[in-house]
Each structure stands twice: as structure tokens, then as C-alpha cells.
Amino acid sequence: MSFDVAQALVDPRHLDEGQDLPTSPNSGLVEESSACWLDDDRIAVATSTQPKAEPEDDEPRAGLAVYDAVQRIRLQAFQLEEPAGTILALGKHFVLSLYRHPKLIDLSTGKIVHVWTELQSGLQDGSIMWGLDGDAIPPPMAFDPATKRFAIVNGETVSLIEFDGSVVGNG
């Protein structure tokens, strides 16, 4: 659902009438699991599906979409091999996906640009973490959008990743 904050401040009843975002082309997607603003108008939304019934199923398990919240249109949608988990904006054209390992995803193609396989970031795919324990629980992490830096704890080690402007762009 989306709401006009300025309108809600004038008339709180507006919060009773939220508007749905346009639907995803991936019919198997069941719910939004994470979202982040890319700029003042665009939002990236990660979605998840029910687990595969059989390991050989070819059905997509997750997706990622970019919406223009002002014009209320879906700009792009991609199917992903695994859930994106929590996503964080890196400029206007990339998100950092935190499911299993931190991954840099290009929003123009939906492709993974880089994976930090040496870092474990947990299996959280939504705001509810029921059933997660041990290594599935996300470790402590911090993100600084102003400097495009990300820190993650694995065991006794704190790793700091600084994103180069040439990779993620200036905006």
C-alpha cells in the first residue's frame, strides 16, 4: 500500500484508503519482503514466494521490482534465483541484497554484479524471523548511505565494504 504523507497529515482518514502498487508480472510472488527508496520518486521492492515444492521446480522463488511511486507505475521487474532479503539502496541504480551473502544487484538488468561469498548475512527474508536460528540469523550490520559504506560482523571479525562511486554511480 502507498500513502500520501502530506495528505495524511491534513486528513488522517487518508490512512484508511491506501493505494496498491501495480502488480508484479511474476504470478507466483506472494508478498513484499523488503523495500528501499532509490530517490525521491522511485522505490525498489523485493518479493518472495512460497518455497519450491520439489528441488527440480523451475518456478522463480523471488523477485525484485522498481516502482515510480509518484506516477504509480512499475518501471522494471526481475526474477531472482533466491530471495533478496533485506535490500539497501546504493545510489539510484543498485541495491545491496543481504540474503545469505551480501550481493550487489544492478537494477537496470536485475543481475548480480558481485557477491561477497566469504561473508555470511543470514537468511532473513522479511520482517518476521520466526524459525531462524544459528547461522540463519542475520549478524550485526550497519549501513551508511551518505558514504556508501557497509559493515558486517562475522564471528570475531568486522568487515567494512566501501562502494566505489564508479561502481554505484554518484546518484
Query: Pick from 93, 99, 126: which is nearest to 111 by CA?
Result: 93
Q: How many residues does the chain have?
A: 171
Specify the residue for cell string 554511480. 169
User: Whose grid coordinates read 564471528?
Assistant: 155
Q: Which domain holds residue 85?
A: 5-168
Q: Provide the whole-model pTM.
A: 0.76
Question: Which strand ranges, in their side-by-side order, compose the sheet holding 87-90?
Answer: 87-90, 94-97, 103-106, 112-115
Alpha helices in 11-147 (DSSP H): none
pLDDT in tens, the chain (171 residues): 667 788 889 988 888 876 665 554 443 445 677 899 999 999 999 987 655 555 555 555 688 989 888 888 889 888 888 889 899 998 889 999 999 999 999 999 999 999 999 999 988 887 766 777 777 888 899 998 888 889 999 989 999 998 876 555 544
Structural domain total, the chain: 1
